[in-house]
Amino acid sequence: MVQIDFYELLGIERTADDRTIKSAYRRLAMECHPDRTGGCKDNEARFKEITAAYDCLKDPQKRAAYDRFGHAAFQNGGGGGNPFGQQGFDGFSDIFSSIFGEFMDPRGQRQNAGRGADLRYDLELTLEEAFAGKEARLEVETLARCGGCEGRGSRGDARAATCSTCGGMGKVRAQQGFFMVERLCPGCQGSGQVIADPCLACEGEGRTLSQRTLNVQIPAGVDEGTRIRVAGEGEAGIRGAGAGDLYIFVHMKRHPIFEREGTTLVADCPVSFTAAALGGAMTICGVDGKPVEMKIPPGIQSGEQLRQRGVGMTILNGRGRGDLVARIHVETPTRLSAKQKELLAAFRDTETGEECPASRSFFTRIKDMLGA
């Protein structure tokens, strides 16, 4: 049987350092891993070969023997046996896990075993509350630390015992074909311990369902969809494990005057046609309750906007405020006295068409279209 050189298998130079060897194995293992290639037998055989090569070259003593004697170093008892030592191919799962552990167990299940779940709380605020910030009082029903056993899960002075199923590791291994798969231990749910005499109040979990009241500071400037994390205020963990987090999702109530666009507040402001024609001023009550005065330039049209800087919403986690925008709507009067009608009729008699250039331009185009 022809045996391929380990360095050639990994595609590296004989002078490669440990980091290069590890990187080469990692890349090739991901390419020909049977789980990624539909269980292809050829890829499975290649995976065995590159794993054998890596196991040899990552060990300084094995590598030195291989560099001197080649494959003969691991044959007929020479140089310390096969490149897997006493493990044989049973060491595949350990080798692969050491290289790809962060992918195989991305959530760190062992470290987080028994951790309490995160909670969500939907909080509705008025625009004024979002502007100024507030201390919100939240009523949350959640699993909290058991008072009867102080979170231990055991009754009286009884202590938790090491789980016999997993030996306290919190995980069990099962063979699935060629690979060894790790799962949370079903006996202890990943905690590594079992309760012989469980607390009657919490049935050994170390937590019970209860109503809690929390006071949470909501910062000024929050908006629809803002998420606030309160660390450690979620569900309590099993038997003293870490608690989850509380996530507050902000929702905004509809305001009778203002629309919000980020830190800008927009208000639709009707003005009389005389104020629009002659100019003037108007006063708007800001979100902080203070009056904001805006000047109306003569000849303003519907749809035009007036902007007052620095009197809008508070900037979240920043300094200053956004702007306030008045969106103008020129209002045509519907109730006129006889005197007003007389004055308007006299004004109409004096119109030359130059007073409203947009209207004049529009009707001129209409005449051109009609050929008049």
Encode pLDDT of 254-274 as tens digits. 999 999 999 999 999 999 999
Q: Please, what is the average pLDDT of the chain?
A: 83
pLDDT band at 327 (very low <50, low <70, confident <90, very high): very high
pLDDT band at 149 (very low <50, low <70, confident <90, very high): confident
pLDDT tens track for 335-349: 999 999 999 999 989
Mean pLDDT of 60-78: 76
* Percentage of the chain lying above the pLDDT 70 cut: 84
Tokens standing for 291?
A: 């009056």
Residue set of the binding site? 146, 149, 163, 166, 185, 188, 199, 202
pLDDT at 34: 66
Q: What Rg value do the Cα atoms of the chain yield, rounded?
A: 38
Angstrom distance (rounded) from CA 214 to CA 163: 36
Question: SS in 3 state form for the chain?
Answer: CCCCCHHHHHCCCCCCCHHHHHHHHHHHHHHHCHHHCCCCHHHHHHHHHHHHHHHHHCCHHHHHHHHHHHHHHHCCCHHHCCCCCCCHHHHHHHHHHHHHHHHHCCCCHHHHCCCCCCEEEEEEECHHHHHHCEEEEEEEEEEEECCCCCCCCECCCCCCEECCCCCCCCEEEEEECCEEEEEECCCCCCCCEECCCECCCCCCCCEEEEEEEEEEEECCCCCCCCEEEECCCCCCCHHHCCCCCEEEEEEECCCCCEEEECCEEEEEEEEEHHHHHHCEEEEEECCCCCEEEEEECCCCCCCCEEEECCCCCECCCCCCECCEEEEEEEECCCCCCHHHHHHHHHHHHHCCCCCCHHHHHHHHHHHHHHCC
Instruction: Specify the higher pLDDT residue, 143 or 95.
Output: 143
pLDDT tens track for 39-61: 677 777 888 888 888 888 988 88
pLDDT at 177: 60
pLDDT at 126: 97
pLDDT at 198: 86
Range name among 5-9, 134-138, 223-227 with the lowest pLDDT average? 5-9
Angstrom distance (rounded) from CA 88 to CA 80: 13
**pLDDT over 90 at 331, yes or no:** yes
Entry pTM: 0.61
Mean pLDDT of 314-335: 93
Angstrom distance (rounded) from CA 42 to CA 287: 71
Compute CA distances 282 → 275, 296, 302, whole Å.
10, 7, 15
Residue set of the binding site for Zn(2+)? 146, 149, 163, 166, 185, 188, 199, 202
pLDDT band at 369 (very low <50, low <70, confident <90, very high): confident
pLDDT band at 35 (very low <50, low <70, confident <90, very high): low
pLDDT band at 294 (very low <50, low <70, confident <90, very high): very high
The tokens 């803002």 sit on which residue? Answer: 226
pLDDT tens track for 224-237: 999 999 999 999 98
pLDDT band at 204 (very low <50, low <70, confident <90, very high): confident
pLDDT at 2: 57
Contact 153, 198 (CB under 8 A): yes
Task: Kindly list the structural domains of the chain, giving each domain's residue range(s) and its CATH number in brackets, ordered by start.
Answer: 6-104 (1.10.287.110), 106-157+198-254 (2.60.260.20), 161-194 (no CATH), 258-334 (2.60.260.20)
If one counts every other C-beta atom within 10 angstroms of the C-beta of residue 147, the result is: 12
Highest-scoring range by mean pLDDT, 45-49, 108-112, 209-213, 252-256: 252-256
Mean pLDDT of 271-299: 94
